[in-house]
Structure 1
Amino acid sequence: MSFVLITGGVRCGKSAFAEQLAAMQSDSVLYAAFGVVTDEEMKSRIDAHKERRPKHWGVWEDTDSLIIPNNIFSGYHVVLVDCLSTWLANRCMQIPESEYKQPFHKECIREEVREWLKCIKQSNQHIIAVSSEVGLGGVAMSPLGRLFQDLLGEVNQLAAEQADEVYAVLSGIPLRLKG
């Protein structure tokens, strides 16, 4: 079992690098995808990911749940989670604007991430997780953007702490940060 976290900016090559790592590990890969078609541009992005990955890989698509049911992932050697930031965006979009500052929502998300990380430690699979890095830019202008940035920073730190290896991808070049 191993856990690899790959982070970097939007469209920097994180997913392609993660797919290469997964393919090097095994032919038995489950691709966990969280993208939601909200418009034509998002549909194109999701389609590009689908076309790029091998057809024999398994796919699990969910918008809300980070924890993949055991009966789905247990038959695979590698689980590629793409990506934590999309999962988190989906979760943040469900929170009513009047409740952004309520600690309950943040704690529920943190707890789900902690539970997911426990599941990873107990699994026999190689886990590769992708996440965007939003900590290099300015502070978001909207309350939802700030909630997302703050939580994603925490999610990425929790994942990086548990990961055996961590990579940052910049301009298509992976840089090993840990492991």
Structure 2
Amino acid sequence: MGNSLVLGGVRSGKSRLAEQLARESGLPVTYVATATASDAEMSARIAAHRQRRPADWGLIEEPLALPAVLETQCAPGHCVLVECLTLWLANLLWAEEDGRLEAELAALDALLPRLPGPVIFVGNEVNMGVIPVDDLARRYGDLAGSLHQRIAAQAERVVLTVAGLPLVLKGPPLIGADAGYPRSPRPLSGFI
């Protein structure tokens, strides 16, 4: 099993799918959480993710130093689930540490081709709506899109989730995680 990228919008089912893929790997799993409990709503989201995870999974909470965590946690025979890339990116943007964003992105780019063991990356697809008016929001969208493209280029599998349905964009079909779901959209008959 190689690296995977699971993309989707908010509440698309991407996290549940990524967790299912990690379980199906049959390997020990380390969950790398990049979220921070910045308000009550985010605290509730984090709590829901915690309750859903198997008790035997390892957990590392790291909002900024993702490449360093991957360097120490990735190993043959071990699955790492990163939840999520876009929160990590937002954390780096808000950190306002000169050069930190660029250094972390460069470190991840250098690390990707040599990561041992499977890594499942989760990211929010944020670029399917209108172009934001705010320059920071546009920069964030640009950075997220570029990051996802770089990871997708090196990933064995890329999956887009919409309304809880996975669509494999690249790589082998899903086995158990999408039982009963189509792998690609079926055209509607009778519509122009």
Q: Shorter chain as normaliser: what TM range?
A: 0.7 to 0.9
Deviation at 1:69, TM superposition (A): 5.4
Deviation at 1:106, TM superposition (A): 6.2
CA distance in 2, matches of 1:165, 1:27: 18
TM-score by length of 2: 0.81
Which of 161, 164, 172 is the equivalent residue of 2:156? 164
CA distance in 2, matches of 1:38, 1:157: 28
Moved more, 81-90 or 135-144: 135-144
CA distance in 1, matches of 2:139, 2:100: 10
Deviations 1:58-97 (A, max 9, x none): 001101011115444448611001110110010011237x
- Does 2:93 align with 1:92? yes
CA distance in 1, matches of 2:144, 2:77: 27
Moved more, 1-10 or 67-76: 67-76
Deviation at 1:140, TM superposition (A): 1.8
CA distance in 2, matches of 1:5, 1:150: 18
Match for residue 141 of structure 1? Answer: 133
- The CA RMSD measured in Å over matched residues stands at 2.0
Match for residue 42 of structure 2? Answer: 42
- Contact kept? 2:15, 2:83, Cα under 8 Å: yes
Deviation at 1:135, TM superposition (A): 1.5
Determine which structure has greater relative contact order: mean sequence separation of CA pairs < 8 Å that are 6+ residues apart, divided by chain length: 1
May I ask how many residue pairs the two structures share in their alignment?
A: 170
The one-letter code of the counterpart of 1:163 is A
Deviation at 1:126, TM superposition (A): 1.2
The one-letter code of the counterpart of 2:55 is K
Q: How does 1:114-129 map to 2 (within 5 A)?
A: 114-120=109-115, 123=116, 125-129=117-121
Match for residue 81 of structure 1? Answer: 82
Stretches of structure 2 that go unaligned for 5 or more consecutive residues are 172-192
Q: Give % identity.
A: 38
The one-letter code of the counterpart of 2:26 is S
Q: 1:78 to 1:106 in 2, by over 3 A?
A: closer
Deviation at 1:110, TM superposition (A): 3.5
The one-letter code of the counterpart of 1:172 is G
**SS of residue paired to 1:137:** coil
Match for residue 66 of structure 2? Answer: 66
The one-letter code of the counterpart of 2:113 is K
Stretches of structure 1 that go unaligned for 5 or more consecutive residues are none
Higher helix share: 1
Match for residue 13 of structure 2? Answer: 13
TM-score by length of 1: 0.87
CA distance in 2, matches of 1:5, 1:71: 20
